[in-house]
Amino acid sequence: MGLSAPSIASRKVCDGGEPLVMVTAYDAPGARIASDAGADLILVGDSVAMVVLGYDDTLQVTVGDMLHHTAAVARAKPDCHIVGDLPWMSYHVSPEETVRNAARLMRAGAHSVKLEGGRKRLPMIEKIIDAEIPVMGHIGLTPQSIHTMGGFRVQGTQPEHARKLVQAAKSLEHAGCFSVVLEGVPVRVAEMVTEAITIPTIGIGAGMHTDGQVLVYHDLLGIEDRFVPKFVRRYADLKGQSVEAMKAFADDVRSGAFPNHEESYHMATSDAEELEGLYSSQG
Ligand code: KIV
Q: CB under 6 Å to ligand 1: residues?
A: 24, 43, 45-47, 85, 181, 183, 204, 214, 216
Q: How many CB atoms lie within 10 A of CB 158?
A: 9
Q: Any bridge partners for residue 85, and if so which?
A: 114
Task: State pLDDT tens for residues 115-130.
Answer: 999 999 999 999 999 9
- Stretch 233-240: mean pLDDT: 97
**How many residues does the structure list for the chain?**
283
User: Could you identify the atom of ligand 1 that is nearest to the CA of residue 45?
Assistant: 1
- Stretch 125-151: mean pLDDT: 97
Contact criterion met (CB below 8 Å) for 43 and 83: yes
Task: State pLDDT tens for residues 178-228.
Answer: 999 999 999 999 999 999 999 999 999 999 999 999 999 999 999 998 888
Q: Any bridge partners for residue 179, and if so which?
A: 136
Q: Is 183 a catalytic residue?
A: yes
Are both 13 and 69 inside the same structural domain? Answer: yes
CB-count burial class (<10 Å; 0-12, 13-18, 19+) for 280:
exposed
Are both 127 and 183 inside the same structural domain? Answer: yes
Q: Any bridge partners for residue 213, and if so which?
A: 21, 203
Q: Which domain holds residue 278?
A: 241-282
DSSP state of 117: B
Q: In the prediction, which pLDDT does 283 show?
A: 57
Are both 226 and 175 inside the same structural domain? Answer: yes
Are both 76 and 190 inside the same structural domain? Answer: yes
Are both 265 and 232 inside the same structural domain? Answer: no
Higher pLDDT, 235 or 228: 235
Q: pTM for the complete prediction?
A: 0.96
Kindly report the CATH number assigned to the domain that includes residue 115. 3.20.20.60
Are both 172 and 40 inside the same structural domain? Answer: yes
The average confidence (pLDDT) of the chain is: 97
Please give the tally of structural domains in the chain. Answer: 2
Cα separation values, 24 from 136, 185, 213, Å: 14, 20, 11
Q: In the prediction, which pLDDT does 199 show?
A: 98
pLDDT band at 282 (very low <50, low <70, confident <90, very high): low
Task: State pLDDT tens for residues 153-171.
Answer: 999 999 999 999 999 999 9
For the cut 90, the answer to whether the pLDDT of residue 247 exceeds it is yes
Active-site hit among 116, 173, 183, 224: 183
Question: Hey, which of 21, 22, 42, 43 would you mutate to test ligand 1's pocket, going by the most ligand atoms within 8 Å of its Cβ?
Answer: 43
Question: Hey, which of 85, 145, 217 would you mutate to test ligand 1's pocket, going by the most ligand atoms within 8 Å of its Cβ?
Answer: 85
Phi, psi at residue 220, to the nearest 5°? -70, -30
Helix 28-36 with 63-75: angle, nearest 10 deg = 50
Percent of the chain scoring above 90 in pLDDT: 96
Contacts (Cβ under 8 Å, ≥6 apart) of 70: 44, 82, 84, 105, 108, 109, 110
Task: State pLDDT tens for residues 25-83.
Answer: 999 999 999 999 999 999 999 999 999 999 999 999 999 999 999 999 999 999 999 99
Three-class secondary structure of residue 113 per DSSP = strand
Contact criterion met (CB below 8 Å) for 25 and 44: yes
Query: What is the distance between the alpha carbons of residues 233 and 223, in angstroms, rounded to a whole number?
Result: 12
Q: In the prediction, which pLDDT does 223 show?
A: 97
